[in-house]
């Protein structure tokens, strides 16, 4: 099993979700996060008071899937979340040791 973590632009979430459903991904966890990479924050001006926001709002997805699905998940996210502009985000893939479905006690692939 693999854990795919993707940090993407918030407005791309729906496209990415549709692409992943199309692949047969059974579920995911989504968080609203802030951070920075090469893309820097914006300047906000309130009645002349300027604030540089260093952190940019992003959406973080966490998807656990079978090993053989992981490459296609990464490809689908990379395709759906791409705008070509700086700040499109990043994808990380990690190995997952164990998984349990709490309700039934099923484990590993059966729990996904």
CB 81 within 8 A of CB 61: no
CA-CA-CA-CA torsion sign (59, 8, 60, 103): positive
User: Is 36 near another protein (CB under 8 A)?
Assistant: no
User: Is 109 near another protein (CB under 8 A)?
Assistant: no
As a whole number of angstroms, the distance between CA 98 and CA 38 comes to 34
User: Is 44 near another protein (CB under 8 A)?
Assistant: yes
The site string for another protein over 46-65 (x = CB under 8 A, - otherwise) reads: xxxx-x-x------------
Residues within the interface to another protein (CB under 8 A): 44-49, 51, 53
């Amino acid at each position: 099993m693999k854990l795919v973590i993707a940090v993407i632009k918030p407005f791309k979430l729906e496209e990415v979700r549709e692409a992943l459903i199309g692949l047969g991904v059974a579920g995911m966890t989504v968080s609203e996060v802030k951070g920075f990479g090469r893309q820097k924050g914006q300047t906000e001006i309130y009645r002349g008071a300027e604030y540089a926001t260093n952190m940019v709002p992003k959406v973080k997805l966490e998807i656990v899937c079978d090993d053989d699905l992981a490459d296609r998940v990464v490809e689908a996210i990379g395709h759906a979340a791409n705008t070509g502009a700086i700040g499109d985000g990043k994808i990380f893939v990690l190995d997952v040791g164990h998984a349990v479905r709490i309700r039934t006690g099923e484990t590993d692939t059966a729990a996904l």
